[in-house]
A and B are shown apart, each in its own frame.
Chain A
Amino acid sequence: MKTDYANSNCEKRVHELLAPLTGVCPDSVWESVSIDLDTKRAEAKNKWANKISNAPRLPLMVAGTILVVTISAWMFFTHKSSLPKNEMVNTTPVKHSISPAPKTDVNVVPVAQVTIPKADVQPSQVADQGSNQQQSMVAVKTEKHKKLIDSLTGKPYQPIELVKENNSPILIHTDNELVTSTDEHVNKGVAIDLNRKDTVSSMRSMVSQAQSVSAADSTQKP
């Protein structure tokens, strides 16, 4: 039987015979492959070492020097500029607006005691506007709901409230109903300019004056 393959469809036979074709790989193939793999493994190990050793040193040194100088300069200037702010904020002088009244040797009960019960003193946020203004920018909170009782008379009275707005002088006033004294000097408010240097001394003198007047009234009444 003659078979002329040029005129027949032999592609199916080709697929049957050659598709499952396998062969034995000679050792020479693995040798060449393993040499190539070893070379690549060694290259991978020496990759970073070669990069560092082959890198140009002069530009690296220059770049490193510039970097160090830049960082040190930045640290110096930022540290210097931040110091005064911290100092000003932390060292803001907190002064009591009213010093405690001086004790008198005379056995006289003061009618209007100028005290601030449990006053929370907070430093102002605007602390960098000069030392005089810093001293005047002290906010005073008073607890209005608490009523104090005079130990001698047994009558309740409200503490003196300090109100400070902007740069205007602090106004010290007392509640007319709660204070037993009938003296006009005490009932009326007294304006004090905190920007003045002699504010504390003037307040002390005024308080002592008021106490002496009230003491005189109390001795005359009985």
Chain B
Amino acid sequence: MNTSQLIEGCLHNDTTAQRDFYANYSSRVMGVCMRYASGAKDTEAMAGYVFKKLFEEITKCPADINMNQWVTDRSIWNAIAYLHQDKHRYFIAKTTRYMENKITDGEIVDEATLNTEDSRKIYLAALHALTPSYRILYNLTYVDEMTPDKIIENLEIARETYKAELEQARFQFKQYLNTYLHENGLRKQ
């Protein structure tokens, strides 16, 4: 079943087409949710929410669009919408300072000694440790490489807020990365 047939079947609530759509794009959606969620359990709930939204929004999907790009883009913004739903968690403020949490003892493991999968796990763990608001900004800016104007427009925030929060997000990410690498180094020793 090609892309246009998938879209047509999903428009008519065809169960086979919906199942095929899920099978084709589930790994891509799951990858997005793993980056934006805070853990494995949160990732599953977010993926379910994103797929429900995708089946609703597929009626607005243009026929001549790149489907992979459309699914990725809509998954990102629906994942952010999922995080915005939980206001209690979203507005947690972390004011950690780099100097206060700087690791002074022990060796930091050399990343070159790690394989790609281990490095990915460490980076992902550092990303999950960020607060939802910082995680969103960091993902949008550095992983998905969206332009600041698009981020500001979609998140409806001020440019100064964006800059300040992104700087905080970068700082925290590096801090957590050092921590996880240090822990990994300790485990290796």
A10–B144 CB distance below 8 A: no
B143–A15 CB distance below 8 A: yes
> What is the CA–CA distance of A151 and B11 in the complex, to the nearest angstrom?
90
A145 to chain B, nearest CB (A): 73
Q: Which of B25-33, B87-95, B155-163 contacts A (4 or more CB under 8 A)?
A: B25-33
Q: Is A91 an interface residue (CB 8 A)?
A: no
Instruction: Name the A residues within 8 Å of B98 (CB-CB).
Output: 6
Q: Which of A33-41, A198-206, A211-219 contacts B (4 or more CB under 8 A)?
A: A33-41
Q: Say which residue of A4, A17, A23 sits within 8 Å of B108 (CB atoms).
A: A4
> What is the CA–CA distance of A11 and B119 in the complex, to the nearest angstrom?
14
B43–A23 CB distance below 8 A: yes
A15–B44 CB distance below 8 A: no
Q: Is A220 an interface residue (CB 8 A)?
A: no
Q: How many residues of A contact B (CB 8 A)?
A: 32
- A-side interface mostly: helix
A18–B108 CB distance below 8 A: no
> What is the CA–CA distance of A210 and B180 in the complex, to the nearest angstrom?
138
Q: Using A15-B143, A44-B13 as known contacts, say yes or no to A6 and B28 having CB atoms under 8 A apart.
A: no
The 3 closest A-B pairs by CB, nearest first: A23-B30, A25-B26, A6-B174
Q: B residues within 8 Å of A by Cβ?
A: 13, 15, 18-19, 22, 26-31, 33-35, 43-44, 47-48, 51-52, 55, 98, 102, 107-108, 110-112, 116, 119-120, 123-124, 127, 142-145, 170-171, 173-175, 177-178, 181
Apart from A4-B108, A5-B178, what are 11 other A-B pairs with CB-CB below 8 Å?
A6-B98, A11-B142, A14-B123, A14-B173, A18-B120, A18-B143, A22-B31, A23-B27, A24-B26, A32-B48, A37-B15
